[in-house]
Each structure stands twice: as C-alpha cells, then as structure tokens.
Amino acid sequence: HAYGLLRNAIAGVATAFSLYKLVAYIQESTTLAARYETLGVAMIQVGRNAGYSAAQMNAFAASIQKSGISMVESRSTLTQMAQAHINLADASNLSRVAQDAAVIGNINSSEAFARMIHGIQSGQTEILRTIGITVNFEVAYQKMAYQLGINQKMLTEGERAQARANVVMERGKDIAGAYEASMATAGKQMSSMARYVEDLKVKIGGAFMEAFTYKVFGQAEALKKLGAEMDKLAASG
C-alpha cells in the first residue's frame, strides 16, 4: 500500500513537472515568435526605405532560409543588408557561402551568416577571417571604382559595402563544397539542430500569438494607467 502511494506521488510530481516544462516551452516559443513578428515589421520597413516591396523582402527571407539560415536570423540579417545598401539579390549567394564558412568556423550556418554580414557591413576583415574568408577590401574598392569609371574616393558608402559583398562572394569559391562534404558527419548535424529547434519554437509560438498579443497589450495598458495614477498621487502630495 505504501509503495502504491509513493508511486502515485512520484507520478503526480512527474506530471506536474512535465506540465511546468511544457508551459515554459510554450512561453519561450511565443516570445520567440513575437520577436520574429517584430523583426518582420522592421525588415519590411527598412526594405521599403531601400526600394524593395514587402513581397520581395519575404521572398528574399524565404530564399536564404532554404540555405540553412534560421527564420529569425534571416529577417534580422536581411534588415542589416538593406541598411548597408547591399544588393539583396545577392542574399541567397551570400547565404550559400555562409553554409561553407560555418563548417570552417565550427558554428551553424545562421551564426556564420550573421558574422559574415556584420563583417561586410562594418568592414572588419578579422570577423570574416574567423570563418575562413580572407579578403582585401582596398583591392575590392579599387575594382568597384574601376567598374564605375570613377575615382576610388568618390565611392559612396553603399558602393563600398557592395564592393565588400562582391569580394566575399568571390572568396567563397575558396571554401566551396565544405558544407556538402560535412553533411554526412554527426558534428555538422548537431550544429544544425539549433536551427531546427529555433524554427520549431517560432512555428509553435505562432499558434499562441493572438492570445499572447492580447495579454501583453492589456498588461501594457494597465501599467500605463498605474503610472498615470502614481503621477497624480505624487502631484497631490
């Protein structure tokens, strides 16, 4: 009898713990889905500023997701590319280079893509070197200026950023094939699992977004009202 009670108690604790973990997972997933939604709004707005439609931005995001870039990272990185005035038609080519660079850097493709775009945007060759891409941006500027028929000093920041993107794509040929060769290894599959898990969370969280949004807006409104009441109280005192 005592054993049966203990077994039931343990089963009850296990069930409660499982429910707690499930609730925590849903909350984490919904928060991530909310970030994904916010990034989508920012991506489309920054894209419009750069001359791209919402449909084009979503298509670019979908194309780089096919190259192993996570849903969240695809929107975040595309926004950075648009801000830097890099031609977004190059996004899928750059993401494929990132796949190979990820193997060199022992990271997943999403992180490699983020590093690559940051290196291109900032002009920091050291960042690119950590993922196996060695470039000379000065030579890239000279080449761009020659193609445009202008003095190098006349290059705009957008043209310089595009020159950096061009040379990264060229140097990507040096590490081409690393991704395909690594796909049969357990190590590469493990590094890819982070993306699978994150994308799944975004999709699961999306199912709870309506209720989550209603709750968040309600809480925000309540906090604003409380703040207003505290202001009145402070003024009357």
Mean pLDDT of 207-229: 77
User: What amino acid is encoded at 159 in this protein?
Assistant: E
Q: State the Cα angle at 45 between 44 and 51, rounded to 5°.
A: 85
Q: Please state the pTM of the whole predicted model.
A: 0.73
- Please give the pLDDT value at position 188: 64
Taking the C-alpha atoms of residue 12 and residue 25, their distance in angstroms, rounded to an integer, is 20
Mean pLDDT of 39-53: 96
- Please give the pLDDT value at position 14: 63
Taking the C-alpha atoms of residue 180 and residue 103, their distance in angstroms, rounded to an integer, is 10
The pairs formed by 200-204 with CB atoms below 8 angstroms and a separation of 24 or more are: 200/29, 201/25, 201/28, 201/29, 201/32, 201/33, 202/29, 202/32, 202/33, 202/36, 202/71, 202/72, 203/33, 204/25, 204/26, 204/29, 204/33
Mean pLDDT of the chain, nearest integer: 86
Mean pLDDT of 86-114: 92
What's the pLDDT tens digit per position in 11-33? 665 665 565 576 777 888 888 99
Which range (44-53, 102-111, 203-212) has the least confidence? 203-212
- Please give the pLDDT value at position 11: 65
Cα dist from 131 to 12, 142, 176, whole Å: 49, 24, 13
Residue 146 has pLDDT above 70, yes or no: yes
What percentage of residues in the chain have a pLDDT greater than 90?
Answer: 54
- Please give the pLDDT value at position 197: 87
Residue 124 has pLDDT above 90, yes or no: yes
- Please give the pLDDT value at position 16: 59
- Please give the pLDDT value at position 223: 79
